[in-house]
Structure 1
Amino acid sequence: MNTIRQHDPFVSASWAMEQAADRAIHLNARYAPSTFKLSQTNRVTPAIGPDRDDRLFQDFDTPSYELGGDISRPLAGGTIKFVGLANRRERENSESTLVRIAGMTVGGFEQLTDSRYDEVLGRLSWSRVNLLGLSFELGGEVAYNRLDNATELYLLGAGGARNRIDLPIDQAVVDELRTETYVNAGRQLSRAIRLDASLAFETSKLAVGGDADEKRSLKFLKPSVTLDWKPRGGWHAQLVARRKVAQLNFYDFIDNAELGADRVNGGNADLQPQRAWELRGTLEHPLLGKGLAKLEAGYDRIAKLQDRILTPEGLDAPGNIGTGTRRFVSLTLDAPLDSIGLKYFHLRSTGTLQNTRVRDPLSGKVRNWSDFWPDWQWEVELRRDAGKFAFGTTVSDRDSFTFFRTDETDRNINSKPFVTAFAEYRPDPKTTVRLDLDNVTQSAGQRERLFFTPNRSAPLPDVREFRDRNSHVGVALSLRRGF
């Protein structure tokens, strides 16, 4: 049983002075003091040993701050623009699990995390609608990111004993100085055909200090070409070829425990960003008058794919495992239904089929990518807006997906389609009363974990764990008032 208290208030402010498209100033600020508290009771029936009534407690304090703005001015027949952004995200988290037999605590774990992530970014660009017959943009960006993290993991004993577990990388500072210089150009080749191209050069200087000592410099060229075709009859086709480089999650460098899953995640100071060549093809056509039908297909080839590896200390950690591929096709239908007799109704549906493949470094077998990459997923939303009233429902489902850890596979399953519904009343333009129903079908979240010894190079698992987490209908009534 879960008792949850989650508060996500925020306050934001913005200011703008817009004299023209090339004469404008914008400023914005946001503060969000988010908190999350969980008290969970678990009834555990092990294969061997007495039944337990374990406890899980989480107390997360994660405030965030953001300040940004931009200024644009005319220059040399075009527009010069500067964009600045600074944000800070803090974590002060406390988490503990208690193993309890007959109402007595006999063991457990506690984890304390204190971290601060800062980002400062500046981008300067100059653009001109017509430069020698081309739409043109030249720019550069500088970003500095820093994570300062301290994690403490403790083993709890009977009677309140507390012993520190020293993780390999639990006290660390990660910082990165990243730059990007780019040029974009486009030209209308004919009434129906347009060609756009861009070239970016990215550099990264990254350092990890504290429990690890790692420094490296990386450089990437990122070209992109887009061909647009708009024949008559409302058709629109587009082909895109581009190279992309992922941004690293600095928390992947740090060791931490998942107490609710009874496992430790290693950090990897040698982690590198994955690099992808992407091909995209899109075909669009109007649907039922003002609607749109969109078909998209794509192929990705990714070098240094980020997945899970075994560290020298024997921990499961994020790491680069080689080259992976992804193929997908997606269909979106989005249209009002007035033309077929359903006045004020609007339907939006999406469906995706995809195939991800990579060779597993432990088993040697070809498998799907780890994490949220289901082979199929779909969603249908139907709503009606008429005057002061609106109501609607959304139905969605997906295939299972798997985390391939070094010593286990963790498969996540939906027991049935997930359904939400809402009804809304707007007595005046500034006031909205809304009723939301969440998980109308009471879909359960299920997990199947297979454990291997010593790791997944073993042909068969030696332990299977199945979790069925019931979730009931959630009801929320809200009142929103603008000023």
Structure 2
Amino acid sequence: MPLIPLYAPPPAPVVAAPQTGLIAYPPVFFASSGAANAFEMLLRLPGFVIDGGEQVRGFGGAAGNVLIDGRRPSTKSDDIEEVLRRIPAGKVERVELIRGGAPGVDMQGKSVVVNVVRKAGGGRRGLVAMANGVVVKDGRSIPSYRLEASGDQDGRTWEASLRQGRGIDDGAGGGPGVRTDAAGRVLSRSDIRSQGDGWQTTATAAYELPVAGGRFRINGRLFTDRFRTDETQTFTVPTAGFQQSRSRSPETEAELGGRFVRSVGSKSEIELIGLRQTEDEAYRESFAPPVGPSSEFGVQQRSSESVGRVILRVRRSEQLSWEAGGEAALNKLNSATRFSENGAAIPLPAADVQVREKRAEAFVNVTWRPSPKFQVEGSLKQEASKISSDGDVALAKALAFTKPRLAVSWTPKDGSQVRLRLERIVGQLDFDAFVAEAALNQGQVTAGNPDLNPETAWVAEAAFERRLSWGATGVVTLRHFRLSNVVDVGPVFSGDGSVFDNPANIGPGTKAELQATITLPFDRLPIRILRVKGAQLRGDTTWRRSRVTDPTTGEMRTISGLRHLEWEAHFTHDLPQWKLTWGVDAFGAWREAYFRSSNKELVKLRTYVTGFVEYRPKPNLQLRAELQNATSRGLRVTRYLYDGPRGAAPLAAINDRHLQFGPMVWFRVRRTFG
């Protein structure tokens, strides 16, 4: 039994479909860029920025804004960028940009999604890619390789991939460390040298075939990482000395998932999803200062997640569709933490915990298009969970939340669209917040807190999109969040009277976001003198503001870790006559602030710029050279230390670390087969 389409695609690949909310881009639209896979195609899509989804438990809440053949990938741990990279450009029939929704399309709670529609059949394909980079400052080599293969025959498809490579921490590096008192007098001065890297391996496989009148797909992923960081500080003031810290963080992740889809009658289908994830992770850090006690911190964690999800979709007509379903999940975490000074154990709150969570969610979504100009999407979700903790903290609690959503889009004329959304969202408790963590080289230990409640918010969103006839696209989006149970940092007292910081609910708050996205093709600019054939500029900027009451000082401040400004810009110039593409990618500087009971930390990262040149001597061969971090972006961390609680105690010292990483030079070769 063939599967029915859940939405009505345009009758033929077109670049515009007036007042339907759906624009289809055929492969020829991306041909001049030489895109080799679906990911590179989406990078050229006007007015769209890939959202990989949230790293949360469960399947429904982790959705991004990319569909494959009208459905989400049946994996959580596999990054959407990697999923798209494994779809060759020759396998893509068209790319559909769906704005505001369309009957039968699972918008996954997003205002805009992309659907990558693949061609049927096509035989076998393969890819071999090799790369090597060099860290200019220290000469470290960064080798990596990728192998991919896929096939499609007689309704059965399969794919497999293997990636290995060395990952580099560009937040490490070398630079000065200075500690001053409140009056600016230098208390200590040092030269910092740090390196962070690790060898990563990722293997994936999937197989899909017809089963019982539908289609069944099974997929698996295995990931390992052996990351290490080493740091040495050489002091010159007040006296000569050395300080060393080392950390090791081996990690192994495994996932097995499956999906079955089958038509039920002529207007509906049922979808079943199941997956199982496990993660084993350890973190060990040792710290030896020039004066004072040495310390060690270690944590061993094993977590697992089992999820089952069922969805019934019904498309009543071209204008009306609905879906209903439910999801159940079981999550577990076992964590053991140790902290010692000079070999003597120091007790930490919530050091050893075992957490178990049972979650269930029922939902119904309705999409209605009363006229070609209007689209209405409404959904209602009911979530219930039970969390229990054993070990150092024994507790059990039940939580329940109702999550309504209403989204309306209006397309007054071709090229313009207004989108409105009102939704209640419920954050998910991060199991990492339940256990202690440390950064000993900065004198920081954070306790765990299993007794957190999820952060909730009412979100109001308004977006305006304009697509001009000569190809330029702009989208402006404004969001306002009314927050409850904000998860931030608060003080906690251990059994021996020591004071630690831990994740805590600190009350209500607000957050506002203004996002602007623009795509500007230069070949049809209204100003003739500025026209450059094959050139394009894409940019995305987000401004954020927030307010919350500080639990230590009682004053209003921003939420910890919130970046006030983020931006990125991408310029590409395609020269097909020379088989070349060159470009520049820039990721803007950002700043984060963290507020703890007796210190405040500012983290700053400068603008990151990469230049590249691609040469395609043959359609199946690509050579690429990159200069990454051309601006030598560095990480600067400034900590303001107080003699007691902030707001009541005087400023005692300021620690400033400014590490410069430097550029990296990369060379890549990619060869496709089939």
State the TM-score, normalized to the length of structure 1: 0.92
2:631 aligns with 441
Does residue 193 in structure 1 map to residue 382 in structure 2?
no
Q: 1:302 aligned to 2:487?
A: no
Match of 1:53 in 2: 242
Alignment match, 2:280: 90
Distance change in 2, residues 1:7/1:425 (3 Å): farther
Q: Which runs of structure 2 are paired with 1:85-234 in the superposition (5 Å)? A: 85-100=275-290, 107-130=293-316, 134-156=320-342, 162-234=343-415
Number of the residue aligned with 1:477:
667
Q: Helix, strand or coil: the match of 1:251?
A: helix
Q: Please give the per-residue CA displacement for 1:315-353, whole angstroms capped at 9, x wherever unaligned.
A: 101110111101121110023322132222221111222
Change (3 A) 1:55 1:430: farther
Instruction: Please give the secondary structure, in 2, of the residue aligned with 1:406.
Output: coil
Shift of 1:399: 4.6
Q: Which residue of 2 aligns with 1:325?
A: 510
Q: SS of the counterpart of 1:10?
A: strand
Q: Using a 3 Å threshold, how does the CA distance of structure 1 residues 45 and 305 change in structure 2: closer, same or farther?
A: farther
Cα distance change of structure 1 residues 116 and 425 upon mapping to structure 2, 3 Å threshold: farther
Is 1:11 aligned to residue 165 of structure 2?
A: no
Change in CA separation of 1:398 and 1:2 when aligned onto 2, cut-off 3 Å? closer
CA contact (8 A) 1:288 1:336 kept: no
Moved more, 383-392 or 134-143: 383-392
Tell me: CA distance 1:41–1:430, structure 2 relative to 1, closer, same or farther (3 Å): farther
- 2:403–2:424 CA contact under 8 A, matched in 1: yes
**Aligned with 1:42 (options 233, 236, 249):** 233
1:388-427 pair list within 5 angstroms: 388-414=579-605, 416-427=606-617
The letter for the 1-side match of 2:647 is S
For residues 621 and 443 of structure 2, what CA distance do their matches in structure 1 show? Answer: 46
What is the CA distance between 1:392 and its match in structure 2?
1.4
Greater alpha carbon shift after TM alignment, 197-206 vs 386-395: 386-395
- Higher RCO structure (Cα 8 Å, ≥6 apart): 2
Deviation readout 1:431-451 (Å, 9 max, x if unpaired): 433323222111221122111
Mean Cα displacement is larger for which, 37-46 or 23-32?
37-46
TM-score, length basis structure 2:
0.66
Distance 2:616 2:223 in 1: 27
Q: How has the CA–CA distance of structure 1 residues 393 and 202 changed in structure 2, closer, same or farther, with 3 Å as cutoff?
A: same
Question: Where does residue 159 of structure 1 map in the other structure?
Answer: none
Q: Is 1:344 aligned to 2:534, yes or no?
A: yes
In 2, the alpha carbon distance for the partners of 1:481 and 1:62 equals 31
In terms of fraction of residues, the more strand-rich structure is: 1
Matched with 2:493 is 312
* 19 and 168 in structure 1: CA distance in 2 versus 1, 3 angstrom threshold: closer
Query: For this pair of structures, how many residues does the alignment match?
Result: 469
Deviates further, 264-273 or 419-428: 419-428
In the alignment, the residues of structure 2 paired with residue 171 and residue 475 of structure 1 have an alpha-carbon distance, to the nearest angstrom, of 44
Equivalent residues of 2:644, 2:650 under 8 A apart: no
Distance 1:34 1:242, change over 3 A: same
- Residue 83 of structure 1 aligns with an amino acid whose one-letter code is I
Larger deviation: 418-427 or 62-71?
Answer: 418-427
- 1:69 pairs with one of 258, 274, 288: 258
Unpaired runs of 5+ residues, structure 2, are 1-192, 526-530
Instruction: Provide the identity percentage.
Output: 27
